[in-house]
Amino acid sequence: MITITEKASNKIKELLGEDPEAKGLRVYVRGGGCHGFEYGMLLEINVTEDDNTFEQNGVSVIVDPQSLPLLAGSEVDYSDSLMGAGFQIKNPTAKSTCGCGSSFS
């Protein structure tokens, strides 16, 4: 299970409102980055039977079966500060992360 904070869910709802075809937020992991794995997020239009879908704070979250074990227990948050705005993933199972927070091992 992935936790979506209230700040993140509010931003996701805003983004979903701009794309009427989107079914929810897909959170995934792919190979790459400086630590072996990279996080990714996108507004998803196509949900497959294999996908894991759940509701959190009024937002549909979609995760493929390969990414789910690597994201278990993670939290998606959103920050809007003077240093910039964006989503962050806090993953308790990551052994190490890069400085920008987008890759982990």
- pTM here? 0.81
| Tens digit of each residue's pLDDT (9 = 90 or more) over 70-101 | 999 999 999 988 778 899 888 887 765 544 44
We find that the CATH architecture of domain 3-104 is Sandwich (2.60)
Tens-digit pLDDT profile for residues 26-39: 999 887 655 578 88
Q: What share of the chain is helix, strand, coil (3-state, %, to 5)?
A: 15, 45, 40
Residues 6+ apart with CB under 8 A from 36: 103, 104, 105
Cα separation, 61 vs 27, whole angstroms: 7
Burial of 2 (0-12, 13-18, 19+ CB in 10 A): buried
Under 8 Å between Cβ of 74 and 8: no
In the chain, domain spans: 3-104
